């Protein structure tokens, strides 16, 4: 599949905004503009909501694939496009059509100051800008072109290539633009560490694990392919392009790991050849065993890219079935469109059909679409076919647990997602399927797997249980994003909500999860959002879970959440939160109103019994007023996260499914208490 359904009114790029919209400016501080036009609730909010919901239902139904699934574009940043071109350059398969189409996408997202950001409206990001610059050089852009001069000037002002993150410098080292000796060491012998030993590969989150294993081969091989051009213009000091690293005090954790890295560099020079060859063979076997049926690894682009490079370095030629299918899978991550009559190509980091389909099913069901509607039955058939019935890496820590989860992507049997599993079960329960026993069996199996994936602290993470080692994030190699998978409030909330609706509100594990959620509430009344931006997302997930598990709307935790949401509502009636809230507390709950974030706030308020409250009426009014005639909403803002702050996502279907869910629950009510009824406490 080389094109995907956008889920909005058409492709929306990270650098564009709807006509007339105001967005937070790059690098702006707490005074960044937020829509301030006061908006009174509509005179008849129910009528406005009904019209908006009807249009949104039609829009969403029209976008369902014949296979029963929905999938919106998953937009991240231009490092995906740059690294795709660098991979093709390294393997000798880069073609001019792909290069120019990718360059048009990259070029179109450059800002006036010469930079590229990692999210819409965000500040310039050094590593993103370096990789985008190199991609455009591959496409033939000249270093003395005005847009390239601006980029290079900004890069040098930020410290040049030397200040970029490790993964960017790895890409540059592949072509001799950076020295391998000046990168942190990652020995392939890691593959031999037992699971009880610190820093074994299963101490890393699944996305990091899948990347680190192939990179350990690349690090050992240290390949250099001839560079097609030089990059002196990107060094702040061309006479010393690789300045010495400053060492932290030896008594600190950072200092300890820096000195350990020095020892590993020495080990690289003296490593026993037989041991190293055996380690690389074991790592290669680990990689090949985890290739999915569609040729990809883990359903995400970065591990696939590094796995292809690692295996190629070990002698796998491009016609080998593993590499051939792997490269074909990457082609399916490309979204092609036309702009001014020319092809433009955007590379997705991942694809989200299971996640989008379960959320769309919930939205349509809550909006009043009959549970036996053919579209919902087709969606249920697709989801039933995607249940994973074999063990994956999660079984390393849960060897006695039977499988039964769902993944995020079309093919990712090794890494089912606890979050997806919870939402799929909630979606399946909204469908009147002609074979109800299939729904029952799948939901029961999925719930049992989910219960078994609870971590020791009573909460749930995304992919693994008890993946909380403090050491991986300390490694000099790991300077980008999260490399472990600790429990989060949003995932735990979705699990608690699902299990409550499965009649397990009184289960001891659910009560432990509920107590954990209550303990995690911020003094403000909000909850942190790990996989969505940010406190609006976390709070929008937790409050429906609390009431589903039986807490009454009058519970103090619910009331504090309501008060916080009311306090951060924008004057236009919507809600928004900028990604900078992950770094700057002054941004918490602040940002231009978006369709998805407004819906998340409404879902919490409705679950808290605020159906007739002024905040709800104003929020519903904003959704109705901001909707396009075709039933869609615009949302250039990034409201999803891969890693908080470091890797942000614009899920193009979020702007459709969450507003419809909120409107549906406003109009028809919705699941707010579990089968066991309300309780006063956890």
Instruction: Please state, in angstroms and as integers, the Cα–Cα distance from residue 406 to each residue in 300, 387, 548, following that order.
Output: 15, 5, 22
Q: Phi/psi of residue 417, each to 5°?
A: -115, 125
Sorted by sequence, the CB contacts under 8 Å of residue 419 that are 6+ apart come out as 355, 462, 490, 491, 494, 495, 531
Whole-number Å distance between alpha carbons of 575 and 520: 22
Instruction: Please state, in angstroms and as integers, the Cα–Cα distance from residue 666 to each residue in 228, 603, 628, following that order.
Output: 59, 9, 20
Whole-number Å distance between alpha carbons of 23 and 8: 19
**Structural element, H or E, at residue 324:** helix 321-331
Q: Is the dihedral of CA 481, 486, 487, 489 positive or negative?
A: negative
- What tokens appear for 618 in the block? 């104003």
Query: What does 50-92 look like in DSSP terms, one character per residue?
Result: HHHHHHHHHHHHHT--TTS-----EE--THHHHHHHHHHHHHT
DSSP-derived secondary structure letter, 411: S
Taking a C-beta distance cutoff of 8 angstroms, is the pair 665, 366 a contact? yes
Kindly give the residue spans of alpha helices, DSSP state H, lying in 174-239.
206-221
- What tokens appear for 155 in the block? 């890069």
β-sheet bridge partners, residue 371: none
Whole-number Å distance between alpha carbons of 35 and 152: 34
Kindly give the residue spans of alpha helices, DSSP state H, lying in 429-507.
436-452, 489-501
Where in the sequence numbering do the catalytic residues fall?
419
**Structural element, H or E, at residue 335:** strand 334-339
Q: Phi/psi of residue 122, each to 5°?
A: -85, 175
DSSP-derived secondary structure letter, 234: G
- What tokens appear for 390 in the block? 């074999």
User: From the CB of residue 3, how many other CB atoms can be counted at a distance below 10 Å?
Assistant: 11
């Amino acid at each position: 599949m080389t094109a995907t359904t956008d889920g909005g009114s058409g492709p929306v790029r990270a650098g564009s905004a709807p006509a007339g919209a105001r967005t937070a400016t790059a690098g702006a501080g707490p005074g960044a503009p937020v829509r301030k036009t006061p908006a009174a609730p509509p005179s008849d909010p129910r009528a406005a909501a009904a019209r908006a919901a009807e249009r949104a239902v039609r829009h969403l139904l029209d976008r369902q694939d014949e296979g029963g699934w929905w999938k919106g574009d998953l937009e991240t940043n231009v490092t995906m496009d740059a690294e795709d071109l660098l991979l093709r350059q390294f393997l000798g398969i880069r073609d001019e059509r792909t290069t120019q189409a990718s360059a048009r996408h990259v070029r179109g997202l450059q800002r006036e100051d010469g930079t590229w950001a990692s999210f819409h409206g965000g500040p310039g990001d050094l590593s993103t800008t370096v990789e985008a610059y190199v991609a455009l050089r591959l496409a033939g852009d000249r270093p003395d072109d005005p847009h390239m001069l601006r980029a290079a000037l900004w890069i040098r002002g930020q410290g040049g290539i030397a200040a970029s993150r490790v993964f960017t410098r790895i890409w540059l080292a592949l072509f001799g633009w950076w020295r391998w000796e000046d990168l942190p060491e990652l020995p392939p012998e890691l593959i031999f560490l037992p699971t009880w030993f610190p820093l074994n590969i299963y101490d890393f989150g699944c996305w990091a694990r899948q990347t680190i294993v192939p990179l350990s081969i690349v690090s050992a091989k240290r390949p250099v392919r001839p560079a097609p051009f030089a990059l002196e213009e990107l060094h702040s000091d061309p006479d010393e392009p690789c300045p010495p690293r400053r060492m932290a005090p030896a008594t600190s954790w950072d200092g300890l790991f820096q000195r350990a890295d020095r020892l590993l560099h020495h080990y690289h020079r003296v490593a026993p050849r037989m041991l190293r060859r055996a380690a690389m063979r074991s790592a290669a076997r680990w990689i090949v065993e985890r290739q999915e049926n569609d040729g990809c690894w883990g359903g995400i682009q970065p591990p696939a890219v590094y796995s292809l490079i690692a295996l190629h370095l070990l002698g796998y030629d491009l016609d080998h079935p593993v590499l051939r299918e792997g490269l074909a899978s990457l082609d399916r991550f490309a979204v092609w469109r036309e702009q001014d009559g020319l092809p433009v190509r955007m590379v997705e980091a991942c694809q989200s059909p299971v996640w989008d389909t379960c959320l769309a099913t919930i939205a349509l069901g809550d909006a009043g679409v009959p549970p036996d509607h053919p579209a919902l039955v087709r969606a249920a058939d697709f989801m039933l076919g995607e249940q994973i019935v074999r063990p994956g890496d999660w079984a390393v820590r849960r060897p006695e647990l039977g499988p039964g989860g769902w993944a995020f992507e079309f093919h990712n049997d090794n890494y089912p997602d606890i979050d997806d599993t919870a939402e799929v079960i909630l979606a399946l329960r909204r469908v009147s399927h002609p074979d109800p026993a299939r729904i029952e069996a799948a939901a029961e199996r999925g719930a049992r797997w989910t219960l078994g994936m609870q971590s020791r602290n009573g909460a749930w993470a995304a992919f693994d249980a008890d993946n909380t080692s403090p050491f991986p994030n300390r490694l000099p190699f790991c300077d980008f994003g999260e490399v472990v998978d600790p429990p989060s409030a949003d995932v735990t909330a979705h699990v608690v909500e699902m299990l409550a609706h499965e009649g397990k509100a009184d289960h001891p594990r659910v009560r432990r999860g509920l107590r954990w959620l209550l303990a995690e509430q911020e003094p403000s009344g909000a909850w942190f959002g790990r996989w969505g931006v940010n406190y609006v997302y976390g709070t929008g997930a937790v409050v429906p879970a609390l009431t589903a598990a039986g807490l009454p709307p009058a519970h103090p935790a619910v009331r504090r959440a309501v008060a916080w949401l009311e306090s951060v509502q924008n004057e236009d009636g919507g809600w928004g939160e900028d990604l900078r809230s992950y770094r700057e507390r002054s941004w918490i709950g602040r940002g231009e109103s978006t369709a998805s974030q407004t819906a998340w706030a409404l879902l919490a308020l409705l679950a808290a019994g605020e159906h007739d409250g002024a905040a709800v009426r104003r929020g519903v009014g904003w959704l109705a007023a901001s909707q396009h005639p075709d039933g869609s909403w615009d949302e250039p803002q990034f409201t999803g996260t891969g890693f908080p702050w470091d890797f942000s996502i614009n899920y193009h279907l979020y702007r459709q499914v969450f507003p419809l869910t909120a409107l549906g629950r406003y109009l028809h009510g919705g699941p707010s208490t579990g089968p066991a009824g309300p309780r006063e406490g956890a």
